[in-house]
Amino acid sequence: MIPPRAFGYEGGTTELFSKRTDPTFDPIAAATIAADLAVSGLLEPHRAARLIEFHSRNNTYPDFKEVVDALIGLTWKGAAEKNAYQAEMLVLFRA
């Protein structure tokens, strides 16, 4: 779903992240980058402070602990994947 850059445009058709399967697309590296972006955004300190602040004013908003518990529940404590490819993605995400 992520097409490479057009040939001749800033370095050819290489991805913008390091890969282990050169010259082909590395889906594991892409998943690692995507997971890092998502988790880093959720755990960003200013966002965490806002979650705590908003929750202290109104209990209907999630607390930071709820967000962390949900993240851990869906990743570390989540159900095992059915195929080897999905399992590998989760191993990298959990590392």
State pTM to two decimals: 0.59
Check residue 17 and give its pLDDT. Answer: 65
Q: Cα separations (Å) of 56 from 10, 47, 51, 64? A: 48, 14, 8, 11
Q: What gap in Å lies between CA 18 and CA 16, rounded to an integer? A: 7
Task: Evaluate if residue 13 carries a pLDDT over 60.
Answer: no
Check residue 46 and give its pLDDT. Answer: 96
pLDDT digits (tens, 9 = 90+) for 26-81: 777 888 888 888 889 889 999 999 999 999 999 999 999 999 999 888 887 877 66
